[in-house]
Amino acid sequence: MSYECTHELPWDKMEEECGVLGIYGPGKDVARLAYFGLFALQHRGQESAGIAVGNDQEIVFHKGMGLVTEAFDERKLKELQGNVAVGHVRYSTTGSSLLANAQPLIFRYSKGMMAVAHNGNLTNASEMRHNLAVTGAIFQTTTDTEVVVNLLARYGQSSLEEALIKTMIDIKGSYSLLVMTEKRLLAVRDPHGVRPLCLGRLGDAYVVASESCALDTLGADFVRDIEPGEIISIDENGLVSLKALTKPRRAACIFEYIYFARPDSVIDGISVNQARRAMGRQLARECKIDADIVIGVPDSGTAAAMGYAQESGIPFDQGLMKNRYVGRTFIQPTQEIRAQSVRLKLNAVSKAVEGKRVIMIDDSIVRGTTSGKIVQMLRHAGAKEVHMLVSSPPITHPCYYGIDTSVRKELVAATKTITEIREMIGAESLHYLSQEGLLRAMTEQNPDIAEDNYCMACFCGSYPIEIPIGLDKYAMEGCGC
């Protein structure tokens, strides 16, 4: 069950995490629908993919390493016949790319079989795991999701809804969770609503997905977002919603809007693409620069760059092009290529930038390892000036809720001043969007969501969900998902 390690093309981004998808659709080819749904959620995890199907009698499943299209073929999919399905794409926050850690996790317990798919990260997983282990629980994986699995089995003598509520009382952190039995689908979003989860209909069938773009791909109609703390249960008797626990402060991850989610998704009523444009417009209000063109770092910086261009009146152009076929490679680059590895992904359009004063907009800077190379590439292509603008505030604190921001000391904005970062990347100037500006851009999109309803911990260190003192970041296989 080992897997060849790959040389991910270098990129300086926070890395999501996971995507989940559930379908309750007797009479439909649910595994096939799950496949194409996961295909739309591929950006949320490229390490492994899995689909489990319940056929009333049992749960059958297949999991594989790599992209959805790599993990499945026609034969494998045909073996997954049933009425209800859950799927998962995973990005591991640590180095251990084990097939054993791929989800959904499938297990047998006193009442039958169950499959669990998780997006998020539990902050008290180590503690809960210890408690389970000393009373005899065994573990096959190093994921926090197996803690959920064991709790569900422990509470399994009750009804499944009751077991879920008890489990929700025990666990802390972020979780958009799908639980499937042989004949039933349950969906849960944590009480803070950190990660997105939405509901759709495809004819008679129900679809639950991390993002609405998966519903669009399947041709399903968007119904609504699952609410923070809500449990949805779907079976032959239809859909039932349950809100058992009192609702704490909502704390939706703002980085879903800045970078993670697909631009064509709508999360909690806000279009991701429109939010990004608004961040760009706000950036233009905060930071006026005398320049000839605005360009975005593709793909995620493009929308903000267009917003900036719109507000500032400086023309937008495609100054950087991305290789459409970029992906994993199993090949070690030569020394020459490694030095300028960013060229494997991006190339400057010299005729667009030469002789120009360029404003280059990216959505975020994490470690700061690639921005300098892009600036250099633009200069090599003839840019006279390069001003770097970032459509989010400086990232100064790690995320404990399911995103791989690595440890604090690796975050460039946690250890360096903006001036130092500017020098490091060699730009004429460097500006970040302010925290207030970011929230203003969000409020502009949906005034009904209060400013303190977003988790901004990575910018300000104010963590909405308790984190253990001295928590060794990801002591367990983080992200759970």
Query: Binding-site residues for [4Fe-4S] cluster, please?
Result: 253, 399, 455, 458
77 vs 467 by CB, closer to its own copies: 77
Give the range of 133-141, 172-180, 282-290, 412-420 binding its own copies by CB under 8 A.
Answer: 133-141
Residue 142 within binding range of its own copies, rule CB under 8 A? yes
Binders of its own copies in range 265-304 (CB under 8 A): 266, 271, 273-274, 277, 299, 302-303
Please report, for residues 6, 13, 98, the alpha-carbon distance to residue 95 in angstroms, rounded to integers and kept in the order given. 11, 16, 9
Q: Are 49 and 18 in contact (CB under 8 A)?
A: no
Binders of its own copies in range 422-451 (CB under 8 A): none
32 vs 367 by CB, closer to its own copies: 32
Smallest distance from its own copies to CB 139, Å: 4
Is 18 a known active-site residue?
yes
Give the range of 10-18, 187-195, 262-270, 420-428 binding its own copies by CB under 8 A.
Answer: 262-270
Q: Are 33 and 81 in contact (CB under 8 A)?
A: no
Give the range of 215-223, 359-367, 386-394, 461-469 binding its own copies by CB under 8 A.
Answer: 215-223
Chain mean position to CA 56: 32
Binders of its own copies in range 152-181 (CB under 8 A): 153-154, 156-157
Pairing state between β 252-253 and 231-235? unpaired
Pick the binder of its own copies from 350, 429, 435, 443 (CB under 8 A): 350
C-alpha to C-alpha distance for 25 and 289, rounded to whole angstroms? 54
1 vs 469 by CB, closer to its own copies: 1
Residue 110 within binding range of its own copies, rule CB under 8 A? yes
The encoded tokens of residue 176 equal 């958009």
CA contacts within 13 A on the Cβ side of 465: 27
Residues 6+ apart with CB under 8 A from 420: none
C-alpha to C-alpha distance for 231 and 452, rounded to whole angstroms? 24
Q: Are 173 and 121 in contact (CB under 8 A)?
A: yes
Q: Where is 246: in which H helix or E strand?
A: none
21 vs 430 by CB, closer to its own copies: 21
Residues in contact with its own copies, shown as a per-residue x/- string from 59 to 88 under the rule CB under 8 A:
--xxx---xxx--xxxxxx-x---------
Identify the CA nearest to 49 among candidates 86, 17, 6, 90.
90
Binders of its own copies in range 304-343 (CB under 8 A): 306, 310, 315-318, 321, 323-325, 327-334, 336-337, 339-340, 343
Q: Are 177 and 197 in contact (CB under 8 A)?
A: no
> Annotated catalytic sites, by residue?
18
